[in-house]
Amino acid sequence: MRGGIDFCAGVFPKAYPRFVAGTVKVFRGTLKSEPASPSNGVQYVLPGVAVAQAKVGVNQEFQFILPPGDYVLDVGPPWSAVEVVVRPGATSVKDIPGGCL
C-alpha cells in the first residue's frame, strides 16, 4: 500500500508541495462512530493500536507492506482518517486528504 499526505491550506500559495511531511499511522480494522456530546454530532474512533507507522518528508509517499484486510490510515488533525482495503496480489493506493479548504 502506498500514498501521500495531501497538502492542506486555506489559501493556496503560488507554489506548494504535492505532499506534506508527517507521520502516517496504520490501524487494522475500520472506523467506528459514536455520539459526540454536546454537539449531538458523530465522532470517529480509530480501531485499536497502530500496527505500523512511517515518517515521510515533503513530496514523499509512504509505503507499507501489509497482509490483506481492512485498515485505517491516520495523520491526525486537520487531516481525516481514511479507510483502505488491501487485497491479495494488488497494490492499494490511497492519499490522505487535507482537511482544509
Query: Can you give the pLDDT of all 101 residues of the chain as single tens digits?
Result: 999 999 876 665 667 788 999 999 999 999 988 887 777 777 888 998 899 999 999 999 999 999 999 999 999 887 889 999 999 999 999 999 876 64
Is residue 97 a part of any domain in this protein?
Answer: no
Is residue 92 a part of any domain in this protein?
Answer: no
Is residue 53 a part of any domain in this protein?
Answer: yes
Is residue 93 a part of any domain in this protein?
Answer: no
Gyration radius from the chain CA atoms: 15
Is residue 94 a part of any domain in this protein?
Answer: no
Q: Concatenated DSSP letters for 45-91?
A: E--SSEEEEEEE-TTPPEE----SEEEEEE--TTSPPEEEEE-TT--
Answer yes or no: are the C-beta atoms of 19 and 59 closer than 8 Å: yes
Specify the number of domains making up the chain. Answer: 1
Range of the structural domain that residue 57 is part of: 2-86
Is residue 98 a part of any domain in this protein?
Answer: no
The x, y and z cell numbers of residue 29, run together, are: 480494522
Any bridge partners for residue 52, and if so which?
Answer: 26
